[in-house]
């Protein structure tokens, strides 16, 4: 039950991610260059420099979000393909497609509401920033569906007791899944925060429905609430799989100790690469808390 990836797909993945980053960055750079309030070409004063800084942070945050979404989608699809059967694959595919449609429709509806945050950002930047939000929301809901399906796949029990190599594979997949999901959720928070605070450093927009002070507090509140929610999501997704894997390890040890009566459980775990060091556990806890930590740190920038 190892995570088997097609050799060709795995070898070109870094190139694909690089192309995604370059294409996204090129599109956003061209968009910013056409703005009268966010373009690097407008720098004349310190205020202009602050505006360009805010624009650059937004662009970088958005690029990182798109790249991490692509990476997490790839990891999730690989796990799903390795452990779910045909029915599960069909259900996952249909659910992902429907989720993307819902994300697309809800993002468009939200951006169209008069006085919304996205309307304020569009007016301040003089750019159709809502279109980038539509893209990211569409992709995000699709990836969320894949992540949930991958979490289910990680806890799906195969026939019989797993061998030591199969257990190592499952533990490795679970760690990769956790770190990928944590990176994506943290980057989503970064993108949300920099998008919402962007107008604060841009020239004042007449008749803005949301004052800058309110916008700042709103960004902090939304980011913090989202950070707590995202970390809770990681707990819900990862901890059940970790508990199930520990039960599988215990079953394998009970089956193996009859053949190695003089070996302790600790030695067996260490010999087969199944032991969890304090450092490993600490890193995983930090990964789960990453969205919450990001939410706390962003307002300090």
Q: Which pLDDT tens digit goes with each residue over 36-85? A: 777 767 766 666 677 788 888 899 999 999 999 999 999 999 999 988 98
Q: Render pLDDT for 194-237 as a digit per residue (tens, 0 to 9).
A: 988 887 877 655 455 666 677 788 889 999 999 999 999 999 99
Tokens (6 digits) for 68: 């991490």
Taking the CA atoms of residue 258, residue 264, residue 268 and residue 274 in that order, the dihedral angle to the nearest 10 degrees is 120
Alpha helices (H) in 257-277, listed in sequence order: 265-271
CA gap 274, 52 in Å, rounded: 49
Look over the chain and give the mean of its residue pLDDT values, rounded to a whole number. Answer: 85
Question: Do the Cβ atoms of 290 and 182 come closer than 8 Å?
Answer: yes
H or E stretch including 256? helix 212-256
Residue with structure tokens 């789960």? 288
Cα separation, 129 vs 7, in Å, equals 38
Q: Identify the band that residue 184 occupies on the pLDDT scale cut at 50, 70 and 90.
A: very high
Look up the pTM and report it. 0.87
Q: Is the pLDDT of residue 1 over 60?
A: no
Spatial separation of the C-alpha atoms in residues 298 and 291, rounded to whole Å = 11
Q: 15-24, 50-59, 106-115, 186-195: which has the minimum mean pLDDT?
A: 106-115
CA distance 248 to 93: 28
Q: Cα separation of 278 and 282, whole Å? A: 6
Q: Is the pLDDT of residue 289 over 90?
A: yes
Q: How confident is the model at residue 24 (pLDDT cuts 50, 70, 90)?
A: very high
Q: What percent of the chain has pLDDT over 90?
A: 44
- Which DSSP letter does residue 199 get? G
Residue 153's pLDDT is 93
Contact 65, 187 (CB under 8 A): yes
Token pair of 91 as six digits: 């259900």
Q: Which residue has the higher pLDDT, 87 or 265?
A: 87
When mean pLDDT is compared over 3-7, 161-165, 202-206, 239-243, the highest value belongs to 239-243
Q: Would you tell me how many other CB atoms lie within 10 Å of the CB of residue 172?
A: 13
Phi, then psi, of 113 in degrees rounded to 5: -70, 130
Helices 7-33 and 46-83 meet at what angle, rounded to 10? 160
Closest CA to 294 of 135, 53, 61: 61
Tokens at 162, concatenated = 């797993």
Segment among 13-17, 140-144, 195-199, 259-263 with least mean pLDDT:
259-263
For the chain, how many residues are written?
301
37 phi, psi to nearest 5 deg: -120, -15
* pLDDT tens digits, 77-108: 999 998 898 999 999 999 999 999 999 998 88
Spatial contact of 292 and 228, defined as CB atoms under 8 Å apart: yes
């Amino acid at each position: 039950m190892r995570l088997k990836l097609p050799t060709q797909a795995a070898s070109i993945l870094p190139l694909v991610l690089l192309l995604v980053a370059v294409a996204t960055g090129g599109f956003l750079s061209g968009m910013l260059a056409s703005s009268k309030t966010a373009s690097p070409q407008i720098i004349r004063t310190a205020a202009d420099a602050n505006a360009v800084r805010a624009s650059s942070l937004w662009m970088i945050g958005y690029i990182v979000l798109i790249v991490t979404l692509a990476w997490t989608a790839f990891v999730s699809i690989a796990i799903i393909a390795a452990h779910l059967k045909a029915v599960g694959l069909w259900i996952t595919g249909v659910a992902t497609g429907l989720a993307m449609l819902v994300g697309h429709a809800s993002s468009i509806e939200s951006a169209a509401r008069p006085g919304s945050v996205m309307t304020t950002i569009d007016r301040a930047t003089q750019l159709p920033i809502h279109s980038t939000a539509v893209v990211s929301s569409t992709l995000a809901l699709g990836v969320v569906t894949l992540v949930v399906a991958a979490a289910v796949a990680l806890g799906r029990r195969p026939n019989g007791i797993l061998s030591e190599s199969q257990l190592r594979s499952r533990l490795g997949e679970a760690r990769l899944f956790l770190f990928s999901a944590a990176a994506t959720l943290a980057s989503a928070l970064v993108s949300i925060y920099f998008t919402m605070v962007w107008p604060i450093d841009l020239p004042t927009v007449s008749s803005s429905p949301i004052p800058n002070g309110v916008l700042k507090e709103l960004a902090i509140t939304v980011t913090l609430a989202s950070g707590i929610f995202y970390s809770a999501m990681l707990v819900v997704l990862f901890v059940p799989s970790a508990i199930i894997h520990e039960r599988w390890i215990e079953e394998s040890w009970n089956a193996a100790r009859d053949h190695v009566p003089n070996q302790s459980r600790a030695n067996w775990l260490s010999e087969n690469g199944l032991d969890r060091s304090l450092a490993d556990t600490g890193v995983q806890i930090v990964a789960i808390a990453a969205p919450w930590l990001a939410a706390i740190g962003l307002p300090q920038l």
